Amino acid sequence: MKITSDHFGVTSSGEEVQLFCLTNNQGMEVRITNYGGIITAINVPDRDGNLGDVVLGHETLEGYLNRSRYFGALIGRYANRIAHGRFCLNGITYSLAKNNGENHLHGGFKGFDKVVWSVREIPAADTACLQLTYLSKDGEEGYPGNLETIVTYLLTNGNELRIDYQATTDRDTIVNLTNHSYFNLAGSGTVLDHQVTINAETYTPVDKGLIPTGEIRSVRDTPLDFTSPTAIGARIRDYYEQLRLACGYDHNFVLRTGTQAFRNAATVYEPTTGRVLEVSTTQPGMQFYSGNFLDGSIVGKGDRVYVKHSGCCFETQHFPDSPNHPNFPSTVVKPNQEYRHTTSFKFSVA
C-alpha cells in the first residue's frame, strides 16, 4: 500500500493542484486530484493480469479545466437535475444556478467538480486512504447553509475503491453527492458490449428535460430491465420513448430495498478482457448513464476521441429533483444531522 503525490498544475485563479497515486499490494492503481476530487485513472488487471486504465479522463489539469463532462469528478451539492433550478424548503423558495437549459445540473456553474479540495493522507494499516474536505459557503450556487463536506477515498488490497461521503450543515439544506466516473472496462472502443446487471425493479421516468415525472415505473418488459445480465447495446436503439428522450440510457434506477443498507447496485462484465466491476452503495438510487452526450469533440487520455457511448456512469445517488417530489426519499439535511453515504467500486475478473 502506498500513496505518492505530484504537482498537477495551477487553476486559472492560481490555486495549486496535486495528483495523488494510490497503489495496493496487487498493483492496482487509482489516481486522484484535489481539483474536483477527480479520479483521473483506475488501473486494474484483466484476466491475463495486464493492467489497463478503465476510466475516461485527461492526462493534464488543463484538460479537466477546459474539456470535461464531469469526468471522474465529485458532484455536489446536488447530483443530477433540479427542475427550473428551484425548490422550496421550510416555506422559502430557493433559486439555484440554471446551467442546463432551464434546469440546474450537478451543483451549478461551479459545482464540487470545479473547486479545489483540501486534502490529506490518512494513515491506515491495510488501505491507502485519502481524505478531501471542502466548505461550501452559505448561498453558494444558491444553496442555503454552510456545508462542510468530507469525501474519503479508500483503496483496499481486495481491488476495491470505497468512497465515503459525509456532510454537515448549519442551516436546513439539501444534499446529494456522487462520483461521476465514466467506466470502460475494455479501456477502448465503446461500452455497448459491456454486460450490465442492475439491482432495480423500478426506475424514475423523465420528461424531455430529463426531469423525473414523479412516476416510479416497473422496468419489466422494457429496455430498462437489467435484472439479468444484458449488453448495454442490446436494446439501446429500440423504439422506446424513454430511450429516445435521453438518447440512450440516462435514468435513475430505484435500488432494491429502500433502507440505507450497503448492498450491490450493479455488476458490469466486459467479455474481451474479463474485467468485472461491482458497484455497491447505501444510496436509494443510481443514475445509469451510457455516455450519450459524448460526441467526439473531446480527446482524452492517450489521444482517444470520446465518441458516443465511450464510457458509462453508475452514479449512486438520491433521485433527481427529489426536493420537488414529496414521494421520493428526502434529501433534506438539518444542522443536527450528518449526511453519510458509502459507495464502492470493486474490480475482479471472470
Site for ligand BGC in 124-153 (CB under 6 A): none
Choice among 180, 194, 251, 341 that is catalytic = 180
> Residues 12, 65: contact at Cβ < 8 Å?
yes
- The single residue among 141, 250, 270, 321 that binds ligand BGC, judged by CB under 6 A, is 250
- Calpha distance 249→233 (Å, rounded): 10
Q: Nearest to residue 236, comparing CAs of 221, 245, 247? A: 247
- The single residue among 315, 339, 342, 344 that binds ligand BGC, judged by CB under 6 A, is 315
Residues in CB range of 154: below 8 A, 6 or more apart? 124, 127, 128, 129, 161, 162, 163, 164
Of 42-50, 90-98, 130-138, 287-295: span binding ligand BGC (CB under 6 A):
287-295
- The single residue among 64, 289, 314, 345 that binds ligand BGC, judged by CB under 6 A, is 289
Of 136 and 317, the one with the shorter C-beta distance to ligand BGC is: 317
- The single residue among 198, 210, 219, 286 that binds ligand BGC, judged by CB under 6 A, is 210
The reply to whether 109 sits near ligand BGC by the rule CB under 6 A is no
> Residues 322, 331: contact at Cβ < 8 Å?
yes
> Residues 138, 171: contact at Cβ < 8 Å?
yes
Site for ligand BGC in 59-78 (CB under 6 A): 69-70
Per DSSP, helices labelled H in the chain are 61-66, 241-246
- The single residue among 287, 316, 342, 344 that binds ligand BGC, judged by CB under 6 A, is 287
315 counts as catalytic: yes
Give the residue nearest to ligand BGC (CB): 69
Q: What share of the chain is helix, strand, coil (3-state, %, to 5)?
A: 10, 45, 45
The reply to whether 211 sits near ligand BGC by the rule CB under 6 A is no
At closest approach, how far in Å is the CB of 79 from ligand BGC? 7
**How many residues line the site for ligand BGC (CB under 6 A)?**
9
> Residues 182, 134: contact at Cβ < 8 Å?
no
The reply to whether 293 sits near ligand BGC by the rule CB under 6 A is yes
Amino acid identity at 77? R
The reply to whether 347 sits near ligand BGC by the rule CB under 6 A is no
C-alpha cell at 264: 450491490
- Calpha distance 166→54 (Å, rounded): 26
The reply to whether 283 sits near ligand BGC by the rule CB under 6 A is no
At closest approach, how far in Å is the CB of 46 from ligand BGC? 27
Q: Beta strand 29-33 with 39-45: parallel, antiparallel or unpaired?
A: antiparallel
**Site residues, ligand BGC (CB under 6 A):** 69-70, 80, 210, 250, 287, 289, 293, 315
- The residues carrying an active-site annotation are 180, 315
